[in-house]
Structure 1
Amino acid sequence: MLISCVHGRDRRHLRQIGKRDLVAAVRFGTKTPGMPCRRTGATRWKYTFANIVYITDATSTREITSYVLPLSIAPVPLSQSDTLNHLLLKVRLSDDPSLCSSHTVLVVDMSGSMRTSDVDSFKTRADAVYATLALDFIGAQLDQAMLRGTDVVSLIEMRQDATIVFEREPITNHLFNMLLDHSTHSNPYSHGNYINAFRAAQSLFEEDMCNDTCALMLLFLSDGKPSDSIARGSNSSVQSMIDIEIKSMALDFGTRLTVGTIGFAKDEDFSVLNEMAKTATGAGCNGIFLKSDSCAVALSKSISRLTSSLSVTRTRLSSLGHAGFRGQLREVEKESFEKDLDQLSSSGWNVYKRGVQKCCWNPMIGDWDYFDLKEPVAGFAVRKKSFGEGAERIVFQLVDFNKDHHILGKNRWVAKDSRFVHDDESKKMEFHQVFCETQMKAGDLAKAFNVELATRGGCKVFPRIRFLDCFVYVFLDEDDIESGLLVEKMLDQTKYKKWNGNDGSVDGLAHLPETVNLEELFDNLKITHVGGGSSERNSAPRALGSTMRITDRFASAAVNPSSIMARNYADFPQAFSHWTYFHSKRQFLVCDLQGCLDMNVIPPVFEFTDPAIHFSGNSKGGKRKFGRTDRGKYGIADFFKTHKCNDICRVLGLPSDND
């Protein structure tokens, strides 16, 4: 009979080893001599089975102790050129932080409690954390081609003081090996002071202040409450001081910052970590708290979730070309879309009739034209609750009314406003100005496209492409402050559709990340590549002229217009985006085409709104000609990665960008 001593039972409980595992180890495991008892010299046996080591007395019936063998993670074999290329990439990204697409600061609690051995397959909690970060944060992103090649990581170890272990290291297999090597000689000790770690993290993020397209994540991992002490008589608490640090970072970085906190221990108080995530969310960035107990599998899932969140932010910023307003999110309730709005009621509407004027952007003078309302319009009303939102805008229903407060006409409007609180209304008007300028430019290109397609195709029933007219209602709010709302025609929400995005996505075809080799990445970053094939698998924005999935040129092909009409209306938006690039002599590409196809008119009409225009002449880090969604040559390259020429492209004689 197998007897467990008190120490043995405690160790099994701590290390999550079941009694059945111990019995199996004695029956089926490999038996070898163990180290004799240091106190008495008594014989001991060592049984190894299923990654578990079990120590017994000389009779093999009394349990002395047990432990799980540590998981062995092998480093990635690298050549000297691999290492040198990593260093060259780090120098380039450090010299110009604006090139970075993401920066993650890892804060790892290395206080004395992280020596605890209660994680299956690992000697200590610290070992489990470092192995999981290497495998599930670094390795998984490399394996899944989630990276652009310009993603960097910094590491802080939290004890009584905060130690910056490394700073802005590119995510490569070299970094994977660095993390594994560091874990072998870094030992937990002392206390875990949160505030010093936060201040160190904030100093690391300082270089990202001016790079609006860089996604940021603070990944804060601890096995307990903070050890910080506050001087007697102070009105502050540790929690309040931490809140100040988080709010400061949120003010600087807004929605591009994710604060992810992980509690990694069983039956510990993680209220501070939870509050940290709540404070981050309330301050306008993304806060996520996850509890992993003392389980490596749960820790792996937590890190994977935070990695996915970072990837979403990185994709959004790449798509938008900016970070969004740095500040507090507006708190607006939502409601479902109301088709029939016949009456105004003070409970459901904000009503405006003081100082109301209609403003239209005039590109000839580069300023707004102001017009008084024309009878019978006496004012307008906006629903208090929004029915939709995007990354930057909240969308409301809007109606005009007469002097008797009766809703006018059958036409309905939508009002678009910023998702963020603006202290300066002039900034909001700049926000509306960019929208109007971009939509008007796209509208001019659409008119030229319609003419050329009708001329070349010899068919007057080709669908037309139009962009909605837009204007701004300026008005005095309840505090007599002049404000403005962007207004345009209401489209049929049941038929609303996006045909392509500004990140290369196409309706029906997901824009999957591509693996770009290191030579191509270095070409983009103007780094001299060191020879010798690299094992790195990084994904980066492709430069124009690289291989793209575009069909060959069909300028001379004979295409039957009637057969085109019978095939796929979705070809027209894709061909329009392609056409805008070559019609503008490779300066502009209009994309992010969304709206409705009106089949009730002849010819059918695509009514689009809120497009993006990529301008190839944008300088890195400079002002974007068409605002925040203008991704320049990177956006153009992403379009051509997924574009496949169709019959409309062939009618228009459009070449691929390689020609």
Structure 2
Amino acid sequence: MEAATTTAAKMETNSTSLVTVLSSAHGRQRRLERNIGKRDLQAAIKYGTREPGHPCPRTGERRWRYTFADVVYVTDEEGRKEITSWPAPGCGIDVEKVLITPEMRANHKEALGSIAKKANWTSHTVVVVDQSGSMRKTDVADGVMRADAVWAALALDFVGQQLRVGEAKAATDVFSLIGMRGHGEVLLHQRPVDWILYNDLIDLLRVSTPSGPGNYVPALDKAENLLMSNQCGSCALLLMFLSDGRPGDNVAGGSALTHWQAACCVKALASRFRRRLTVGAIAFGPPGEEFGTLQAIAEVSKEHGSDGHFIAAPLCAHALSKAFTSLSSTLSNTRTELTDVNGSRQRTVRDVPREPSGALDDEMLTESWFLYVRPITITRWGPQGWESEPLERKRVAMKKQVFGVGAERLVRKFRLVSEHGAFVGPKLVAKETQFIGDLSNEDLKAFHSIFCKTQTQAQMLATQFNDAVSSLPGTAWSAAQIQFLECSVYMVHDQNLGRIGLLVEKMLDPQRYKKWKSKNGSVESQADLEPAAMPRNTNFGSASSNNDNSNSNSNSSNSNNNNSSNNDDQDGDGSADLRPIDNNSNNNSNNKNSNAQFDLADVPQAFSHFTYRHSNRKMLVCDLQGALDSSKSPPVFELTDPVIHYSSVTGRAQVYGRRDKGRAGIIEFFSTHQCSELCRQLNRRFLPTSRGQPLYIYPSLSQSNNNNNFNNDF
């Protein structure tokens, strides 16, 4: 019996091999790229399902399409010459569709009615997915086709994740999809983000067949039309552009012209929508592939006021998932910024022209500046609230075009003006709201008060931090300082808006301006650090109720406030005094850390951690941005526009403004924070000994790396 079976198998194999198929150079290349053998093609012609294929685009000759063993083959009209082949869509991936209930269908119908009114939109995501022939390659893990990996991740990790956590609302959040082939093809047009959309993406996984070139410019033109279709200033926008290689556009000017055209298209969008627009350029290709145009798309969007991201996902499904999840989070943050404090309505962004990137500074007053004359008043935020300041000049000027855009405010160049029209004094910037609704506030200084309060509180903690760092062993001569800019509010009369308030502060060097922590939590320009050192329940270096007797008398009033949850929201700024540092003990030659060296890049993150400990875990100052002035001795981090997360026991929210996420913001910081040696030195605690000298206790690395201790800090 076995012999008969073996003989039959051999006959079957021989019979298949007798099928003669002539291979073309193109067909052989595609089979090699997609891991398809010649014998598989012969078997498909003998046993596969045959149906008419698309005719030859050049000659119009008929072709046959064979499907067998999850692979599709295309031959000439006689079935004798191989044209091309590819894995069947969905091969190797099985994603179940969601069962759509009658209630879901009713909600979908209602959502379609809601998004018909574009004023209801809170977000619009436009996704461009490469559907060129190279997306048929099966070089993703487990032999998955590139296109299939993209559809699965887009459904599961972008749309599905938003629906599972409740971030997306079908009645207000809109999704559009473009397939990038020879011409941009709109596959899904302005659809509600719901489970029906999720299922539509699964359908694309099962039926989509990439083919032809991937032309960037036509796809970007389609994306531009979709994004421009709703210009309401309260709608957050996300453009995701995914490709596995360089543009396939065949234009007379070559790749350089395509590169320029793509950059110009994104430049126009970024200049129009600025911070409301996030651009995610995702490179889903092998290492070494040319992604210069994708990188340019991300860079030009940042240069013109939008939030640009170039994300490399080198044929890795996990990296692709992280890319979609990260961009989804960014969209959620933008949507939150555009929602008022009560969460009841969207906020409309002002349409203000932006200054071209790299524009030269004017040396004197020109037509591109607003000139303000008396009456001008100046106030500064002090311990008792607003305090008046003397006016040095009778005239001031503000650039008409926007210099920068933040989460809440527009930034323009600002100068004092002499009677002859010349600029005098240092370069300044003026910050004002970017939302139309805030312009109607009767208290013209109310919008700026929370920023002044936040910056003043941050400076109080910075002064304590500078003292603490200078007192560490061996650091006094080189300790970098943290300094937040002083700010004033100028009240001027604008011809169009009437009486307005402008928050004015020193202008930092744009070439050196940076953030010391990016949105995804990574620390920029930081030295090599030890693994994350999460704070623990032991109160290292903070003013707590466990102070020794020598300190408890002098700080009794602060101790009472800090230990009473009833007083949580009555303590004003929530700050706590530092314990006095014994300088004599710091000079002890037996201290093992006396020769510790700190990198300058460690300072900002150490400061953030310090503010949490030394405010008795009530607040954390983060989102540090500004410029490092290395010309001073010691060097100074000049910072502006910080965020303070305030943890309120009684439930007060946004004590320090809209960006104050409270305890959630503190947790988010520590989830990515890595303690440097400077951090560990500052967060030490000391116990009194019988000789009156403090005994230093430092966090051990083994304890610091235990993430289970993280929640004990709250």
Q: How do residues 131-530 of structure 1 correspond to structure 2 at under 5 angstroms?
A: 131=148, 134-138=151-155, 166-167=194-195, 246-247=230-231, 250-253=232-235, 256-258=236-238, 285-286=276-277, 311-312=326-327, 314-315=329-330, 318=333, 322-323=337-338, 325-334=347-356, 336=358, 343-362=363-382, 364-365=384-385, 368-371=386-389, 373-374=390-391, 376-409=392-425, 411-421=426-436, 424-426=439-441, 429-454=445-470, 461=477, 462-479=479-496, 481-500=498-517, 504-508=521-525
Judge conservation of contact 1:25–1:47 (CA < 8 Å) in 2: no
Judge conservation of contact 1:613–1:626 (CA < 8 Å) in 2: yes
Q: Secondary structure at the match of 1:465?
A: strand
Amino acid at match of 1:167: W
1:73 aligned residue (91, 94, 101): 91
The alpha carbon displacement at 1:609 in A equals 1.5
Distance 1:72 1:419 in 2: 46
Distance 1:495 1:66 in 2: 53
Q: Secondary structure at the match of 1:358?
A: strand
Report 1 or 2 for greater relative contact order, CA contacts < 8 Å, sequence distance ≥ 6: 1
- Residue 587 (structure 1) aligned with residue 618 (structure 2): yes
Q: Deviations over 1:537-564 (max 9, x none)?
A: xxxxxxxxxx965699887998769966
With over 3 angstroms needed to count, the CA separation of the structure-2 counterparts of 1:450 and 1:280, relative to structure 1, is: closer
With over 3 angstroms needed to count, the CA separation of the structure-2 counterparts of 1:426 and 1:334, relative to structure 1, is: farther
**Gaps (5+ residues) in structure 1?**
1-16, 39-43, 91-101, 109-116, 123-127, 170-174, 188-220, 226-238, 268-274, 291-300, 515-546
Amino acid at match of 1:70: A
The match for 2:549 is none
Q: Secondary structure at the match of 1:246?
A: coil
Across the aligned residues of Structure 1 and Structure 2, the Cα RMSD in angstroms comes to 6.7
Distance 1:629 1:378 in 2: 35
Judge conservation of contact 1:575–1:646 (CA < 8 Å) in 2: no
Q: Greater CA deviation, 420-429 or 472-481?
A: 420-429
Q: Secondary structure at the match of 2:431?
A: strand
The alpha carbon displacement at 1:136 in A equals 4.4
Q: Secondary structure at the match of 1:581?
A: helix
Judge conservation of contact 1:334–1:386 (CA < 8 Å) in 2: no
Judge conservation of contact 2:376–2:490 (CA < 8 Å) in 1: yes
Distance 2:357 2:190 in 1: 47
Task: Give the length in aligned residue pairs.
Answer: 505
Judge conservation of contact 1:579–1:649 (CA < 8 Å) in 2: no
Q: How do residues 560-639 of structure 1 correspond to structure 2 at under 5 angstroms?
A: 567-599=598-630, 601=632, 603-617=634-648, 623-639=653-669
The match for 1:531 is none
**Gaps (5+ residues) in structure 2?**
1-25, 52-63, 105-121, 139-144, 178-185, 209-217, 243-247, 250-264, 282-293, 298-309, 313-319, 340-346, 542-580, 686-698, 705-709
Distance 1:565 1:502 in 2: 30
Distance 1:317 1:618 in 2: 26
Judge conservation of contact 1:70–1:121 (CA < 8 Å) in 2: no
Q: Secondary structure at the match of 1:607?
A: strand
Q: Deviations over 1:106-152 (max 9, x none)?
A: 999xxxxxxxx9x9799xxxxx9995663341467799x99996666
The alpha carbon displacement at 1:474 in A equals 1.2
Judge conservation of contact 1:501–1:593 (CA < 8 Å) in 2: no
The match for 2:116 is none
Q: Percent identity?
A: 26
Q: Deviations over 1:195-232 (max 9, x none)?
A: xxxxxxxxxxxxxxxxxxxxxxxxxx99x99xxxxxxx
Q: Deviations over 1:309-361 (max 9, x none)?
A: 8834633755997347533442122353757x6x5233343221132111223
Distance 1:130 1:354 in 2: 64
Distance 1:148 1:129 in 2: 25
Q: Secondary structure at the match of 1:634?
A: helix
The alpha carbon displacement at 1:257 in A equals 3.0
Distance 2:334 2:151 in 1: 28
Distance 1:159 1:337 in 2: 40
TM-score by length of 2: 0.51
Judge conservation of contact 2:516–2:524 (CA < 8 Å) in 1: yes
The alpha carbon displacement at 1:572 in A equals 3.2
1:53 aligned residue (57, 73, 85): 73
Distance 1:609 1:142 in 2: 36
Distance 1:243 1:140 in 2: 22
Q: Secondary structure at the match of 1:642?
A: coil
The match for 1:233 is none
With over 3 angstroms needed to count, the CA separation of the structure-2 counterparts of 1:309 and 1:332, relative to structure 1, is: farther
